[in-house]
Structure 1
Amino acid sequence: MTKLSVNINKIATLRNSRGGDVPNLLKVAKDIEEFGAQGITIHPRPDERHIRYQDARDLKNIVTTEYNIEGNPIKSFMDLVLEVKPTQVTLVPDAVDAITSNAGWDTIKHQSFLQEVIKEFQENNIRTSIFIDTDLKLIEAAAKTGADRIELYTEDFATQFDLGNKEIVKSYADAAVLAHDLGLGINAGHDLSLDNIKFFKQNIPNLAEVSIGHALIAESLYLGLENVVNMYLHKLQ
């Protein structure tokens, strides 16, 4: 079964909008795990507009499943991850002012940089994953960085799927096959939803984990958080 890691950034956004502690991020994380999710994901950004660096520290003592921290490996982010030591760090090439992740790594151009970063994390027993597009040359270069996994950037899949173009999934399947052959684990995330997750899962071999936040929280406004988590788990079986 593909694991479901729930990104709780949007819970932090809602909390921060009133300046207090409602909803309580730590309680929501615990509840999501109790509902059956196999992981919690956060993506702190330098401006701390949703997840704060202190949240990352506090969640370390709360999360009992897989704990995944995403972000651009600038010094402050690296220091945080090395302090917290989550299960997994997912490297994302975000610009400081990015609203959300909008591109994968150029693993050819940034190969030596990624090698250095990944080596440091792995020396601290932190599994590493690289956020990446489906270009096969980039997948091949990702394997040379020493990363444990890749995370396929699925925005294009989700957009095309909504337009009725299901053939788009083939490029993701091809990337997953190559990654697996090169010894890389396969994660995926960005704009995956209840509408498209089952089709994606059925067509991507060796899919280890999906990270879902925005859609899952939005769907929960209508259907309830516990119900939605279990709906995703059912579709990922």
Structure 2
Amino acid sequence: MRIGNASRYAAALLAAPALLGGCGRADAPQAENAATPAPSATADAAVVRPQGPERLVLAFGDSLYAGYGVGRGLSLPDRVQKRLWAAGINATVVNAGVSGDITAAGRQRLGFALDNLPRKPDLVMLGLGGNDVLRQISPAETRANLDAMLAELKKRQIPVMLTGMRAPPNLGPDFVARFDPIWPDLAKRYDAGLYPFILDGVIGTPALMQADHVHPTAEGIAKIADRMAPMVAGQLQDAKR
């Protein structure tokens, strides 16, 4: 996915260096656009947990996982979990999204998050990097931090699905050329799953993005989950083999 017509997103990244960072955790005061749940929220609420062996997924990321600006139960991990249930997969998706996390912070807390789960997860969804680009942190540093996290997960023999990020074009071609390949490169190196751009399909569509042009609305999150959940389900299936 090319960011292309997402000029508002690019402007937001440059004008507000803490948009992903200053959002608070998932239990922060809710934005106005979260007052009325998205239509898909009603359908989600009707889904019940299926029977069968439980699959444990750790969703480890920033505010795009934490659920900034939407009501409880409408974050991306919540919505992915409900779609897995609808597919007959008894999955628990633990939301370890922390608003404001850069990859360096994620690198520091990954071991703690893993050690405090009830057991080794069947899959880790790793979604960090958005705050790095907001702060224009060196792509080399972003790559090194993600590499270290993937190495730790490989050492623990935990499968991974990376959810990638893209740099806006107006950061310059050099930055984009060093930043955007991080996720496909590391996915190949560590044999990880890859969802190339977490905001694919919603960025640049005003109805699916909050007023900051960085975070998706509840409906935008639902659309991301629709695309992402089949990939998560596939990796969980592969992990059983």
TM-score (ref. length: structure 2): 0.41
TM-score (ref. length: structure 1): 0.42
Whichever structure has more strand as a proportion of its residues is 1
The one of the two structures with greater contact order (alpha-carbon pairs below 8 A, sep at least 6) is 2
